[in-house]
Structure 1
Amino acid sequence: MRRLENAFVTLNGTVLVLGLMAMSVVLGWNVVGRYLTGNSLTWADEVARYSMIWLTFLGSGLALREGAHAAITNAQEALPSQGQRALRALILLVLLGFFAFMVWVGIDYMNRMAVQRSAALRIPMKWVYAAMPVGFALMIVHLALIAPRYLRAGLQHPEETALG
């Protein structure tokens, strides 16, 4: 199971790196073209904008996994260990419910945008808005994978676990 989880995390990270590289190449090409020839790619801004939207949602699960989202831990740390575990279980349930709700809302919104097309690329906006349900579905998977460790000990940052 651990190998499958590592493969999933690696694949998620690789997709992010490749997406960021592609976005950088398009934007770099556009800047160079604008200054060397006086012309720019008409679709480059859209590609950059939509890539950034997708990269944000695709990376949110990895950020969740690393504890990089905003969190208030003072109340949790003030509780005894059983209370901490109960609070973490409640947090997991609330997050799971919120992520599932956002997948549902994202699919609904994505379907509402199916008839609209982007200005330059002329792609259905449905594919741009698909980033939301896909990203929240990935967050559900990441949450499910880290839930047992989180319930036992909370989120351990890499530098904390290295120090013991």
Structure 2
Amino acid sequence: MKRLENAFVTLNGWALILMLSAMALIVGANISLRYLTGHSLPWADEAARYLMIWLTFISAGLILRTGGHVAITNLQDALAETGQKLLRAGIVLILLTFFGFMVYVGWQYAQRMQYQVTPALRLPFIYVYAAMPVGFALLIVHLLLIARPFIQAGEYKPLHAFGVEDDTLPGGANG
């Protein structure tokens, strides 16, 4: 199971690297062409925008794994250990419900947009809007993979699981 989880996280990370690289190359080429030739790629801004949308949704699960999303822990800190575990279990259930709902809503919306095409790329909008259900589905998988340590001890996956050493960041992994 651990190997499968590591492969999943690695693939998710590589997908982000490829999308960010493609976005940087497209924007860089467009800027270079604009200043060198006076002409730009008509589809570059649109492609970069859609890559940014996909990056946002696909990266949310990896950020969730490390506790990188905004959290207010005043209530949790005020509770006894059993209360903290119950609160964290409730949070996991609420998040799973919300993420599942967003997969459903995102898929419905993407299907409604399948016959419209983007102005410059002429790409069906379903490919753009599919970022939402795919991203939330990945959030469900990531949440399920970290749920037990989070509920039991409020722990997230350390950054060194992604090839980053804790001491490279100020304050360590959670700091």
TM-score, structure 2 as length reference: 0.89
- 1:90-101 counterparts in 2 under 5 A? 90-101=90-101
Higher helix share: 1
CA shift at 1:161, angstroms? 7.6
Q: Distance in 2 between matches of 1:49 and 1:42?
A: 13
Q: Distance in 1 between matches of 2:139 and 2:38?
A: 43
SS of 2:114's partner is coil
Q: Distance in 2 between matches of 1:156 and 1:123?
A: 38
Matched residue, 2:42: 42
CA shift at 1:157, angstroms? 7.1
What per-residue deviation string (whole Å, max 9, x for no partner) do you get for residues 105-164 of structure 1? 00000011111110000010011000000000000000000001101111347457879x
Matched residue, 1:27: 27
- 1:120-135 counterparts in 2 under 5 A? 120-135=120-135
Matched residue, 1:113: 113
Q: Distance in 2 between matches of 1:156 and 1:118?
A: 39
Seen in structure 2, the aligned counterparts of structure 1 residues 156 and 100 have a Cα distance that, compared at 3 Å, is: closer
Q: CA RMSD in A?
A: 1.6
Q: Gaps spanning 5+ residues in structure 1: where? A: none
Seen in structure 2, the aligned counterparts of structure 1 residues 120 and 29 have a Cα distance that, compared at 3 Å, is: same
What per-residue deviation string (whole Å, max 9, x for no partner) do you get for residues 67-89 of structure 1? 11111111101110000000000
Percent of residue pairs identical: 60
Matched letter for residue 34 of structure 2: R
TM-score, structure 1 as length reference: 0.95
Q: Distance in 2 between matches of 1:18 and 1:32?
A: 21
- 1:47-66 counterparts in 2 under 5 A? 47-66=47-66
Matched residue, 1:102: 102
Q: Gaps spanning 5+ residues in structure 2: where? A: 159-165
Q: Distance in 1 between matches of 2:77 and 2:62?
A: 24
What per-residue deviation string (whole Å, max 9, x for no partner) do you get for residues 32-60 of structure 1? 00000000000000110000000100000
